[in-house]
Amino acid sequence: MLKKYLDLQTKFQQLEADLQSPAVVNDSQKLKTISQEYTDLKPLAEKIAELSAVEKSLAETTLLAKADSEMREIAEAELFELEPKKLALEKAIADLSRPQDPLDKKNVIMEIRAGVFTKI
């Protein structure tokens, strides 16, 4: 797994620990900032954890598939399922880790009015 993803996982765990700290809980501004960052990072951290589990399973299954045993066919079938899953997770993580526009979280007021189209 990429170092960047491991750093994000570490940051998520640190934020989780900070949310349980009495110093943060007593300071409402810090709590709000850390909670927002935690919420933003949570889906990405879950996908990274899932990717880590799939990679571990993929490595174990690859070793099993190389061995001369009865389990070879089952391991190859499992490899056939795990590889696309790994690629899908990597794509999802890449999409989630893309920088967001700072204006995405701003509120917008939109008014739609009825109108008449006339042809001249």
Overall domain count for the chain: 1
Q: Whole-model pTM? A: 0.74
Range of the domain at 36: 3-100
Return the pLDDT at 98.
83
**108: in domain:** no
Instruction: Provide the residue type at 4 as one letter.
Output: K
Q: Of 84, 65, 89, 80, whose CA–CA distance to 1 is shortest? A: 89
Q: Which residue bears the tokens 């890449």?
A: 94
**61: in domain:** yes
Return per-residue pLDDT of the chain as tens, 120 residues. 678 888 989 999 999 999 898 888 888 899 999 999 999 899 999 999 999 999 999 988 888 888 767 778 888 888 888 899 999 999 998 888 888 777 777 888 888 888 777 777
**106: in domain:** no
C-alpha to C-alpha distance for 86 and 35, rounded to whole angstroms: 29
C-alpha to C-alpha distance for 44 and 8, rounded to whole angstroms: 8
Q: Which residue bears the tokens 């810090």?
A: 30
Return the pLDDT at 1.
63
Integer Rg of the chain from CA:
23
DSSP state of 103: G
